[in-house]
Amino acid sequence: MPSAVPGETDMAAPASPVALSPTRDFRALAVEAARGIYTWDSRSSSYSDVYARVRSWWELLPDGSNPLSVLVKEFEATGVTASSFTSLGQQSARQSATGQSVRCDLELAKVQEFPPPWTGLHVCTVIVQVVNQTTSDRNTFSAPITLMLNCPPAVTAPADRCAMVAFYATADRIVY
């Protein structure tokens, strides 16, 4: 039975993977991506499946400033690694997230001090509420995640939408 609380999922059912919608609304994309990065279900997917989904959102920039090695490090900072996923799978672990707040660009003090290097690059920090559940335990916590979104009119952005080009989950990289 679905939850009566808006935005909350029934943790008995597999967590549906989040799909990013093509949009020019960088705020909406930031929240959607943050939710998706923290949503997975070991009962219906493998670590490779979860990683591949998140990897498909990370668009490499032509200058090489957002290498996949950063993606791996930041994805593992969310608490999911190949080895931990094996253990999580044995516990039928699943996780879902809802966006609690989003701040972008000049709403962030660090961005005021160090603006993005080109027009169309947006920096958003999303606070997500994460529900982590296994067959025997349920844990809820909040987590900040910073997303870099490349949008038109940036020459490196897709013509009709914004693209996620990076995210940061490690504490020293979160932008406030």
Amino acid 16: pLDDT: 63
Task: List, in order of start, the domains of the chain with CATH numbers.
Answer: 26-173 (3.10.450)
Q: Is 69 exposed, middle or buried (0-12, 13-18, 19+ CB in 10 A)?
A: exposed
Mean pLDDT of the chain: 91
Max Cα–Cα distance, the chain, nearest Å = 50
Percent of the chain with pLDDT over 70: 90
Candidates 108, 13, 33, 117; CA nearest to 75 is 33
**What's the half-sphere exposure (Cβ side, CA atoms, 13 Å) at 56?**
11
Binned at pLDDT 50, 70 and 90, residue 18 comes out as confident
pTM for the predicted model, two decimal places: 0.89
